[in-house]
């Protein structure tokens, strides 16, 4: 795993405000990261296409396009690439839009560099290290084959593979981790904070509503009728469980 002090760890900072870019770049280099910069959406996509970084720090407001749109594009083209959004908007609805766009974390301006560096390090650690307990418990379900009406769902944590009725399903890293953990503990109910701790990690900074977003994404990909789920169930006032 790459991390602080490893010059091979590349971070792309995307913002059109030079003072912010300079300050972030300076602090990242002090931590031992290799830093690239981009001032707009087009340059961001070009740099990612030429040499994919290990993490992108992305401003929401950019001259040539919305950072949220760029985040969605990165999620579509480069699954597993961590994205940390920077924004001046602190409302819960704005944070949820960021997570719905596929962001891994969300930092509101103005922010302290110490906080930003801590969040960068946490994202890089979670990128390569399987979630505590989730990976181990998932491996007990290597034959994880679950009935879904007339169909069957197969979950293989070692190969990170999900097959529904014979068709492979493409999931993001966190979508797979969440599904694998819930499937390995089918029938048990977990609240949002427990899922964040067990799937995202103890040093997770993301809003607990990101669990809701990932559950919705999984339902859209796996449930026959996402609005009436039969597998990923909501337990009102508590959290979620896998019924399989």
87 and 165 fall within a common domain: no
List phi, psi (to 5°) of 117.
-65, -40
108 and 162 fall within a common domain: no
Quick one: pLDDT at residue 151? 59
Please determine, for residue 167, whether its predicted confidence score (pLDDT) is greater than 80. Answer: yes
**Mean pLDDT for the stretch of residues 207-228:** 88
14 and 124 fall within a common domain: yes
Label residue 28 by pLDDT band (50, 70, 90): very high
226 and 162 fall within a common domain: yes
**Mean pLDDT for the stretch of residues 142-156:** 63
Least confidently predicted of 20-34, 126-140, 160-174, 194-208: 126-140
Helix (H) or strand (E) holding 148: strand 144-148
Please determine, for residue 17, whether its predicted confidence score (pLDDT) is greater than 50. Answer: yes
121 and 14 fall within a common domain: yes
Per the structure, the complete domain to which residue 27 belongs is given by: 10-128
Quick one: pLDDT at residue 135? 42
Q: How many residues does the chain have?
A: 244
Compute the distance between CA of residue 66 and CA of residue 63 in angstroms, rounded to an integer: 8
Compute the distance between CA of residue 144 and CA of residue 155 in angstroms, rounded to an integer: 5
Question: Which tops the pLDDT comparison, 7 or 104?
Answer: 104
Label residue 204 by pLDDT band (50, 70, 90): low
Please determine, for residue 12, whether its predicted confidence score (pLDDT) is greater than 70. Answer: yes
* Average model confidence (pLDDT) across the chain: 81
Label residue 18 by pLDDT band (50, 70, 90): very high
Please determine, for residue 240, whether its predicted confidence score (pLDDT) is greater than 90. Answer: yes
The domain spanning residue 121 has which CATH number?
Answer: 3.40.50.2300
Question: Which tops the pLDDT comparison, 136 or 38?
Answer: 38
Helix (H) or strand (E) holding 24: helix 18-30
Label residue 210 by pLDDT band (50, 70, 90): confident
Contact partners, residue 28, CB within 8 Å, separation at least 6: 11, 13, 35, 117, 120
Contact partners, residue 66, CB within 8 Å, separation at least 6: 41, 60
Contact partners, residue 178, CB within 8 Å, separation at least 6: 195, 199, 211, 214, 215, 218
Please determine, for residue 75, whether its predicted confidence score (pLDDT) is greater than 50. Answer: yes
Domain boundary pick from 128, 147, 182: 128
Compute the distance between CA of residue 67 and CA of residue 44 in angstroms, rounded to an integer: 10
**Mean pLDDT for the stretch of residues 53-77:** 86
Please determine, for residue 10, whether its predicted confidence score (pLDDT) is greater than 90. Answer: yes
152 and 219 fall within a common domain: yes
Compute the distance between CA of residue 184 and CA of residue 62 in angstroms, rounded to an integer: 42
- Contact between 171 and 182 under an 8 Å Cβ cutoff? The reply is no
Please determine, for residue 3, whether its predicted confidence score (pLDDT) is greater than 60. Answer: no
Quick one: pLDDT at residue 2? 45
Angle at 141 between CA 243 and CA 175, to 5 degrees: 65
- Domain total in the chain: 2
Please determine, for residue 22, whether its predicted confidence score (pLDDT) is greater than 90. Answer: yes
């Amino acid at each position: 795993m790459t991390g602080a002090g490893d010059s091979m760890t590349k971070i792309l900072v995307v913002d059109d405000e030079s003072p912010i870019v300079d300050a972030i770049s300076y602090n990242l280099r002090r931590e031992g990261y290799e830093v690239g910069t981009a001032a707009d959406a087009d340059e961001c996509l070009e740099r990612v296409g030429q040499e994919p970084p290990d993490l992108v720090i992305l401003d929401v407001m950019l001259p040539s396009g919305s950072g949220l749109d760029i985040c969605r594009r990165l999620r579509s083209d480069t699954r597993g690439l961590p994205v940390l959004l920077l924004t001046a908007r602190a409302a819960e609805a704005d944070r949820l839009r960021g997570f719905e766009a596929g962001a891994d974390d969300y930092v509101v301006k103005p922010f302290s560099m110490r906080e930003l560096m801590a969040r960068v390090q946490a994202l890089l650690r979670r990128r390569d290290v399987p979630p505590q307990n989730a990976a181990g418990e998932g491996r007990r379900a290597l034959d994880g084959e679950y009935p879904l009406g007339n169909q069957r769902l197969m979950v293989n944590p070692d190969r990170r593979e999900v097959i529904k009725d014979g068709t492979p399903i493409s999931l993001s890293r966190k979508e797979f981790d969440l599904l694998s953990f819930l499937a390995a503990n089918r029938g048990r109910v977990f609240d949002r904070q427990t899922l964040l701790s067990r799937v995202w990690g103890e040093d997770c900074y993301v809003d607990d509503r990101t669990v809701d977003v990932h559950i919705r994404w999984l339902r859209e990909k796996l449930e026959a009728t996402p609005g009436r789920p039969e597998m990923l169930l909501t337990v009102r006032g508590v959290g979620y469980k896998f019924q399989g």
